[in-house]
Amino acid sequence: MNSNLPVPGKPENYSLVTLYTYRRRNVFLNDELMSIPETAIKYHQESGHVTVGAYVIMPNHLHMLVAPADWELTEFISNFKAYTGQKTKQAGKFEKRVWRKKFYSNEVAGAEDYMMKMRKIHLNPVRKRLAGHAEEYRWSSAFREE
């Protein structure tokens, strides 16, 4: 994992955001379902709504380092959850809601805190034994194809 990546923008503008699935169900269990939040992250970033410095999509939650641009953080999260929830229900035939109503965010204190949070995000699949190394986990900004 390359921990020497530059911070895109000012680290103080970022928040570590965590979203859990409803009742922490394992929802994102295959490539089709995992690609839904990843596509939404890339869309919002390319649209200029937010900058996402790092992310990881796990079976029952996701973490992102997010810096709002032309949207407030709550507006981004609301839109993200609505879109990904709808697409996930369609693809996975879920009848109940996908996301918990609540989300968690912690502001980044500076460059060192940003790097610590980014490493924590990228190592999440390793700690959960979904990958041997952060770079091997397909659904993370740390992923590197060989």
**What's the pLDDT tens digit per position in 44-88?**
999 999 999 999 999 999 999 999 999 999 999 999 999 999 999
Retrieve residue 114's tokens: 């940003």
Average pLDDT over residues 108-129: 96
Note whether 108 and 115 are within 8 A (CB).
no
75: left (phi over 0), alpha (psi -120 to 50) or beta: alpha
Query: Tell me, what's the pLDDT at 127?
Result: 97
Residues in the chain: 146
List helix spans (H) across the chain: 31-46, 73-92, 111-127
Neighbouring C-beta atoms of residue 107, cutoff 10 Å: 12
First vs last C-alpha separation in the chain: 13
Do 60 and 94 touch, CB atoms closer than 8 A? no
- How do the domains of the chain map onto residue ranges? 11-136
In this prediction, residue 2 has a pLDDT band, given cuts at 50, 70 and 90, of very low
Tell me how crowded residue 83 is: count the other CB atoms within 10 A of its CB.
16
Percent of the chain with pLDDT over 90: 85
Please enumerate in sequence order all residues whose Cβ is within 8 A of that of 144, keeping only pairs 6 or more positions apart, or say none.
Answer: 135
* CATH classification (class only), 11-136: alpha beta
Mean model confidence pLDDT for the chain: 92
Mapped onto helix, strand or coil, the DSSP state of residue 78 is: helix
Strands 50-57 and 15-20: unpaired
Task: Give me the phi and psi of 22, to 5 degrees please.
Answer: -60, 125
